[in-house]
A and B are shown apart, each in its own frame.
Chain A
Amino acid sequence: MQEMEEFQDYVYAISPSPDFAQDGICFVGRKSGLFRWDARTQEWQNAYESLQLPDALVTPAVALSPTFSDDHTLYAGTSGGVLRSEDGGKSWVLGNMPKPPPVITVLLPSSNFVQDGLIFAGSMEDGVLRSPDRGTQWHRWNFGLVDLHVLSMAISPNFARDQTLWVGTDTGIFRSINGGRSWRPLNFPSELAPVLSLTVSPAYPDDETLFAGTEANGLYVSHDDGKSWQRVSPELFPETVNTILVSSGSGGALHVAVATDSALYISYDAGNTWHDLELRLPEDEGISTVAAPSGVQPGAPLLVGITNGQILQCAIIART
């Protein structure tokens, strides 16, 4: 396990380049701002340097274009709107946001971003914002979204066809089937919310599987498109589930990585059995977020954000 850097702040979001294995670039949204790590130089850089900010700009969300290696486009969700950079973080433009300025909590480009240029932002008090033009104009689209405190988002891998995405909020999960323009509540019990993390199976059009991680009530899975939910391994996930990552493994098996406050578990069989990654966390600190640049595959790297601002890099253990 390699300790990459230490900052006395909080890691909100990690967004590795789609070509992380080659370019080694990853952006980290933190309480102290947005930072860029370049594997070639092994250096961390303040991505907001060009802005010459007098104070740290809290950056709870960061997202990279799926073709980042070519277009060098990335987005930073801040407490005041969404910043867009088209040169890998050297310069920034603030998207045209509705007033009052929203606090962005999560950013999610469409899974068909190259064609449709759609990007979604979840916010603390303003629900969902949607940009149809790669982050230039932003509009709130909250028809039916009774709870405007958006904590997590997930998008269908088949978005180009089904136009489906989900948001996890303080009181439950809402789904849109028209590209984020209107929302309906899913049958997720409100007493289990807030929903901190949401993930969709890569084979969602066939298996209709969704995972939801809650703040205080563990991990849930639905195999029927959100109509019913079952709790997953309550002994491992008694309370907070911060991050859920899923990938398709060999033979179509669903690989799942789940981060709680204090541990990281991997499953190679859709959550039936789990392996503890046994991370050595700093004393009194926990996991805030996790990213898997090459997917949840045996031996692939994991980037683990720690509540004190550290980033740990480790490899996923092999299948046993």
Chain B
Amino acid sequence: MRRAPTPTPDLRKPRVVFNPIAYRGFQRGVNLIAEAVRPTLGPLPGKVAVARAALSLPPEMLDNGALIARRIQELPRRNEDMGAMFLRHILWRLQDDVGDGTATAAVLFQSLYNQSLRYIVAGGNPIALRRAFEAAIPLIRRELDAMTFQVQGAAQLAQLAESICHDHELATILGEIYDIIGEYGQLDIRDGRRYEIEREYVEGTYWNSGVLSPDMITDHRTLRVDLQDAAILISDLAMKEPHELVPVLEAVRCAGIRALMITVDEMSPSVRGLLLANRRPGTFDLAAVRTPDSRRTEGRMVMEDIAALTGGRPLIHDAGETLNDFSLERLGYARLIWADKTKFGIIGGKGDPKSLQAHVNNLKAAFARARDADERKRLRERIGRLLGGSAVLWVGGLGPSHVEARKSLAIYTSETLRGILREGVVPGGGTALLDCVPCLRARFEEATDADERATYRILAKAFETPMRTIVANAGYDASEVLAEVKLAGRGHGFDVRSGRVVRMIEAGILDSAAVQKAIVTDVISAVGLALTIEVLVQRRDPPVAHHKAAGS
């Protein structure tokens, strides 16, 4: 008789976990991430040492909540892992969206989730709780709006930046930069060449797309071509035949135009030869660059922006247009158009200022509507370009890893400063959330439904947690300090550096309103969602690609 085959477990087969096991595991994961991030909350953050992949290297010393969470890529117990990854994702998204607030979000989430679970285990209704949580969000946002005020000036921005990045030199320069470029300004953050941090302001705007041929570069000292009082032919056409371009060049020359920049998707060597042959330095300057992102949807947007800046009208391949559709009215103009091997830029576009302002306003409206982080970034970059300047920040450090860490700090501090410029600031150090407590308590008193009352009680308690954590992290007795702060009244908080209860605005201890609102919205919605989880379905062998995408 043949022996029966040995059954082999299918690791891809899902494992289904029901409550209360699901809750417990999920909760352990949430608590693990929150506790890992908790020491970093406040102006005197503790460090978290994270082992590197190469064990011979010293551990990374981190005080950024999102980065710490990001380093925790997988927990051995799958139920815990799901809870941990859930919170990790929230922190990460928050960091991407507003650049700060991850530690506050972690402790707030933990408090809300743990309290709510206790209530549900005692018989509370998770669905009703979720509804009540979501209904509380607008109320809390209105409270935060009422506390919000605008900041201005490099000094105030630098002070706020330092409270985020704890790097005085970086904060001072970022304060100056954002005072100049504003909330939409374009800032390139690059590896520095020295230990110090340096900045440079770039006039006009530029795109990452260079000249089509090195022969078009006329200034061999700066390795670029400068066209003064130039016209620009904006297109995403492929120019293959010289005879197509000849009438264009003739018309331009006859119109007395002394310099012409052409943007194209592609230009054949023979057309390039035609341009170079007809070039007369000083009297008829010619150059061509590849239209930035010409083969993607963004290419059309870049052409729209160049058109708004210069007053031109693009020749668009997808609209069936060719060089035969060219007329002088389609040219744009600028005081200076420049290009080098990798970039081309425009200074002093001569487009109609009213049309340009209208274009910028449309983009700002789209930015306000956009929810997707990438789309918001794209729109912000476009607005920044149109507003006439950009800055480059060269981040130096002691070595490559120090530079990387400082660059990362610079990136998320920048994001927060943009939010501050856009939406203002609120009293910092957990005061803004603490000052929401009276209105939550008032709602608690008004509510008659048990789940609703529980929601406001849970929120009121949770909104004390960020200040408690900041105080405790600085080595003070949180209960004692909180009692003092509450006695001092609205707007007061604890300055952990001086060890005194102060009016936070007067002490200059401020937080980004955008960050606080994002924390409230993201965390409360996420807690509501997490509370409704009844079942965990696990893959025993998570697909590698998915895992990498979420973790790297």
Contact = CB atoms under 8 A, between A and B. Distances in A.
Q: Which of A100, A126, A146, A182 has the most CB of B within 10 A?
A: A146
B298 interface: no
A143 B185 contact: yes
Interface in B339-372: 347-348, 350, 353-354, 356-357, 360
B310 to A, nearest CB: 12
B135 to A, nearest CB: 35
Contacts of A182: 179-182, 389
Given A125-B348, A143-B180, A190 B357 contact: yes
B348 A126 contact: yes
A100 B388 contact: no
Contact of A142 (B203, B226, B360): B203
Contact of A100 (B179, B229, B354): B229
B354 A171 contact: yes
A143 B388 CA distance: 5
Q: Which of A127, A139, A140, A190 has the most CB of B within 10 A?
A: A140
B226 A99 contact: yes
A165 to B, nearest CB: 15
A221 to B, nearest CB: 24
Contacts of A171: 353-354, 357
A171 B300 CA distance: 27
A178 interface: yes
- Give the interface size class of chain B: 20 to 34
B181 A148 contact: no
A286 interface: no
B180 A181 contact: yes
A146 B357 contact: yes
A178 B179 contact: yes
B335 interface: yes
A40 B257 CA distance: 51
Contact of B153 (A148, A178, A185): A178
A182 B354 CA distance: 19
Contacts of A99: 226, 228, 336
A169 interface: yes
Contact of A143 (B228, B353, B389): B389
B335 A170 contact: no
A140 B203 CA distance: 7
Given A100-B229, A125-B350, A178-B153, A146 B182 contact: no
Interface in B429-454: none
Contacts of B357: 146-147, 171, 185, 190
Nearest to B179: A178
Contact of B387 (A98, A125, A144, A177): A144
A178 B185 CA distance: 15
B479 interface: no
A145 interface: yes
B335 A126 contact: yes
Interface string A218-262: 000000000000000000000000000000000000000000000
A170 B352 CA distance: 10
A172 B135 CA distance: 43
Interface in B384-401: 386-389
B19 interface: no
Contacts of B347: 140
A30 interface: no
A27 B360 CA distance: 41
Contacts of A144: 182, 387-389
Per DSSP, chain A at the interface is loop
Contacts of B353: 146-149, 169-171
A145 B336 contact: no
Contacts of B229: 100
Q: Which of B203, B360, B387, B388 has the most CB of A within 10 A?
A: B388
A143 B387 contact: yes
Contacts of A127: 348, 388
Interface string B389-418: 100000000000000000000000000000
Contact of B388 (A146, A149, A170): A146
B354 A190 contact: yes
A100 B335 contact: yes
A101 to B, nearest CB: 9
B532 interface: no
A184 interface: yes
Q: Which of A147, A181, A182, A185 has the most CB of B within 10 A?
A: A182
Q: Which of B182, B226, B336, B348 has the most CB of A within 10 A?
A: B348
Nearest to A144: B387
A58 B356 CA distance: 30
A23 B226 CA distance: 47
Nearest to A163: B153
B180 A146 contact: no
Nearest to A170: B353
A126 B204 CA distance: 11
A84 B298 CA distance: 47
Given A100-B336, A146-B387, A171-B357, A177 B348 contact: no
A309 B360 CA distance: 42
B152 interface: yes
Nearest to A148: B348
B360 A146 contact: yes
A145 B388 contact: yes
Contacts of A181: 179-180
B351 to A, nearest CB: 10
A99 B353 CA distance: 21
Contacts of A190: 354, 357
B154 interface: yes
Nearest to B228: A100
Interface string A167-204: 00111000001100110110000100000000000000
A182 B347 CA distance: 15
A252 B478 CA distance: 54
Given A143-B182, A146-B388, A171-B357, A178 B335 contact: no
A153 B201 CA distance: 23
A316 B336 CA distance: 47
Contacts of B152: 177
A158 B203 CA distance: 28
Contacts of B356: 146-147
Interface string A108-146: 000000000000000001110000000000011011111
Ranked 4 nearest A-B pairs via Cβ:
A147-B353, A143-B389, A100-B228, A171-B353
Given A142-B203, A143-B387, 6 more contacts: A127-B348, A142-B389, A144-B389, A147-B356, A149-B353, A171-B357
5 contacts: A125-B335, A125-B348, A144-B387, A146-B353, A169-B353
